[in-house]
Amino acid sequence: MTLDPFEFLNSPKTIRQRCNQLYLLGLEDRLDNFRIREDRLPISVELVKDEILANYPDLNVPPHSRWQHFDVRGTNHWSPFKSKIRDDRELLLAQIDLAVTSVLLDAGAGPNWHFRDPLTGENHSRSEGLALASLYLFSKGTFSSDPNDPLKADAESLRKFGVEQLAKGFQFSAANPLVGLEERAALLRRLGEQLLSFLGTDQEPNPRIANILDKISIGEDRVLKVDRLLGTLQKLLRNVWPPRLTLGGRNLGDVWRHHLLADSEITTELVPFHKLTQWLAYSLLEPLEEAGYQVQDIDLLTGLPEYRNGGLFFDTGILELKKPDEIDALHPVSSELIVEWRALTVILLDRLAEQLREKLRLTREELPLPQILQGGTWSTGRKLAYERRPDGAPPLRVESDGTVF
């Protein structure tokens, strides 16, 4: 291996390679937990095609990003704040700060939590609820140490961020429990520390998140390669994730073990996903392009291995549990069953994308993967979940700490 092992495990190419290794083992029926029924993939393709045409009949689909969740039932909750920022550069910086904090607070809330919308009084759960809760927390200047500049997130404020602030902003109570409350707050505190070590200088002792722009190699023509964007985000966040697997004493983040991927490399058995970091990269596409940057090679990123996309393939019968009683168990994120589910989801998303484009007679450039996720697989997965389970829960029960799914 010529690459540094961390660069190797952070690469979307490695994510696909490792996931594909498990997928090929699944086709040979050598996985312990799942059986793959590829003959049923056209069912998912048809459902996703219908969902895209219903939601976006003109096929003008935005990328799957945090921004879509701020627009709830016809009300765009970010728009009133956005309209107050007159300077284009300041708008970009604010949107980067918001996207990062909101995505880091996005992991599954659990089935019993909701957020009461201050504009309409409606209750919103899951992704929309998390999005609005984080947006209003941000809009109140919670992450800014400068009362005259509330729409920012800087190191000084994030380092001091307390669980009480999160509980208040997310309307937490015994009757409204949120999964991973403590760990979410700790995540933002670690982000504040990392901002200092990664971006802090004598000239800028209190950096904001958006200063990551200074760390990305951008051409004079404002062209930005998506792998460089992802790589910069991974460096920013590498010490933010809870300690799980480490290599040489360094935290690996969203990387897990599977015994069937043994080889002679230092990264033996390791399967990377980097779901939240990739989704964050997707969520920065719109503000960057709106600000005049051209982001290239977007399809290098993978589909997102989370329970809506994974649920799509489970609920359409493409993925079958070899031990049906596992449906009732509570599975740690680190379990090989969940690692297999996520890895197979990554490859099935690629395969679905190919068949979907053929059906719609569109090219990869005309319908890239982030648009398919938005259009798309994520919403189809959620729709199927509500059809099959009254609370819309994922088909498998995952023990979450609020930092992965």
Percent of the chain topping pLDDT 90: 82
Confidence of residue 1 (pLDDT cuts 50, 70, 90): very low
Same domain for 175 and 314: no
DSSP class of residue 341 equals H
pLDDT of residue 291: 94
* CA 296 – CA 175 distance, rounded (Å): 46
Residue 246 clears pLDDT 50, i.e. is over it: yes
Residue 294 lies in a domain: no
Mapped onto helix, strand or coil, the DSSP state of residue 85 is coil
2 band by pLDDT with thresholds 50, 70 and 90 = low
Question: Which residues fall within 8 angstroms of residue 3, CB to CB, at 6 or more apart?
Answer: 11
pLDDT tens, residue by residue, 299-336: 999 999 999 999 999 999 999 999 999 999 999 999 99
Question: Could you tell me if residue 238 is inside a domain?
Answer: no
98 and 55 both lie in a single domain: no
If one counts the domains in the chain, the total is 2
User: For 337-384, what is each residue's pLDDT tens digit?
Assistant: 999 999 999 999 999 999 999 999 999 999 999 999 999 999 999 999
- Same domain assignment for residues 395 and 266: yes
HSE value, Cβ hemisphere, 13 Å, CA-based, for 241: 24
| Residue 356 domain flag | yes
Q: Is residue 193 part of a domain?
A: yes
Q: Is the model's pLDDT at 129 over the cut of 60?
A: yes
pTM, whole model, 2 decimals?
0.93
Instruction: Clarify whether residues 53 and 69 are in a common domain.
Output: no
Give residue 299's Cα distance to chain centre. 15
Shared domain check, 15 and 73: no
Residue 226 falls inside a structural domain: no
343 and 365 share one domain:
yes
Percent of the chain with pLDDT over 70: 99
pLDDT of residue 38: 97
State the residue range of the domain holding 335: 1-62+249-277+301-405
Q: What pLDDT sits at residue 91?
A: 97
Residues 55 and 71 in one domain: no
Q: Which of 193, 215, 237 is the last residue of a domain?
A: 215
The reply to whether 222 falls in a domain is: no
Which of 43-79 are b and which e, b meaning 16 or more Cβ less than 10 Å from the residue's Cβ?
ebbebbbebbeeeeeeeebebbbbbbbbebeeeebbe
Query: Are residue 258 and residue 378 in the same domain, yes or no?
Result: yes
Domain endpoint, select from 215, 241, 258: 215
Average pLDDT of the chain, as a whole number? 93
Most confident of 112-121, 237-246, 349-358, 389-398: 349-358
Q: Are residues 322 and 379 in the same domain?
A: yes
Closest to 268 measured CA to CA, from 2, 8, 29: 8
Per-residue pLDDT, 158: 98
In a domain, 291, yes or no: no
148 and 54 share a domain?
no
Q: How far apart are the first and last CA of the chain?
A: 30
Tell me: pLDDT of 284 over 90.
yes
Residue 74 sits in the same domain as residue 209: yes
How do residues 214-230 score in pLDDT, each as one tens digit? 998 777 789 999 999 99
- Specify the DSSP class assigned to residue 68: G
**For residue range 41-79, what is the model confidence (pLDDT) as tens digits?**
999 999 999 999 999 999 999 999 999 999 988 889 999
C-alpha–C-alpha distance, residues 38 and 317, integer Å: 9
Lowest mean pLDDT among 80-89, 114-123, 211-220: 211-220
104-118 confidence digits (pLDDT tens): 998 777 788 999 998
**Beta carbons within 8 Å of 390's beta carbon, 6+ residues apart:** none
Where do the H-state alpha helices sit in 320-376? Answer: 336-360, 369-372
- Claim to verify: residue 207 and residue 331 sit in the same structural domain: no
* pLDDT reported for residue 217: 72
